[in-house]
Amino acid sequence: MNVTGIKGAAIPVRGNDIDTDRIIPARFMKCVTFAGLGAYAFHDERQNTDGSSKKHPFDDARWAGHPVLVSNANFGCGSSREHAPQALKDYGVKAVVAESFAEIFAGNCCSLGIPAVTLSSEDIQDLLTVIEENPQTEVNIDVDAMTVKLEGKEWKATMPSSHRNALLDGSWDSTGVLLEGKENVAATAAQLPYMK
């Protein structure tokens, strides 16, 4: 499936160096599949030990269910755990916009079909201000044109060309690529002596 863009309202998650343990604490990674991890996204940022709310944007009704996450620099740093973007995806996040990303986190996002695009620090501040003041504002991330737009504003975005190309041509979905070529896979397998 080609990912040419994502449209939707955004969740503002301010802060630099938001690491993967903050995105999904390690104690919630005792799972066989990634299903259900979204319930624990930013768990320790959202709740005190007594279960009371810390007023995190993920617990704020103004941004409930919004598919675009906007943050600051070095988002997704820390460990290489793929559970972090999986938890965000399970929560409903379909794209992330930040000043910069940890390289492995951005790669893990790409392998899930989640665009992880960057804007300058000034542009991120402008974007965060708009979505905090107008929570229902729709953000339009155009992967083909590499732009982020909302309310008459447009910013030039960047991402590694390998990620952009994979999203645009659908090769980010390795299972889909294999299924599309299943006849070629079967023909090659038939020629291998250890597959007979």
Count the neighbouring beta carbons within 10 Å of the beta carbon of residue 185: 12
Residue 116 — left, alpha, or beta (φ > 0 → left; ψ -120 to 50 → alpha)?
Answer: beta
Amino acid at 158: T
pLDDT beyond 70 at 36: yes
The model's pLDDT over 107-166, given as tens digits with 9 standing for 90+, comes to 999 999 999 999 999 999 999 999 999 999 999 999 999 999 998 899 999 999 999 999
| The two structure tokens encoding residue 196 | 């007979």
5-171: CATH class: alpha beta
Question: Mean pLDDT across the chain, nearest whole number?
Answer: 91
Phi, psi of 51 (to 5 degrees): 90, -5
Instruction: Report the C-alpha gap between 120 and 26 in whole angstroms.
Output: 31
Q: Which residues make beta-bridge pairs with 9?
A: 138
6-10, 35-39, 55-59: which is most confident: 6-10
| Calpha distance 92→90 (Å, rounded) | 5
Strand order in the sheet with 5-12: 116-118, 95-98, 68-70, 5-12, 138-142, 147-150, 153-156
The answer to whether the CB of 157 falls within 8 A of the CB of 119 is yes
pLDDT at residue 104 tops 70: yes
Q: Could you state, in order of their start, the residue ranges of all structural domains in the chain?
A: 5-171
Q: What is the pLDDT of residue 164?
A: 96
Tokens 């910013």 sit on residue: 155
Task: Give the span between the Cα atoms of 107 and 170, in whole angstroms.
Answer: 15
The predicted model gives 30-58 an average pLDDT of 86
* pTM for this entry: 0.87
Tokens 């449209």 belong to residue: 7
More confident residue, 16 or 55: 16
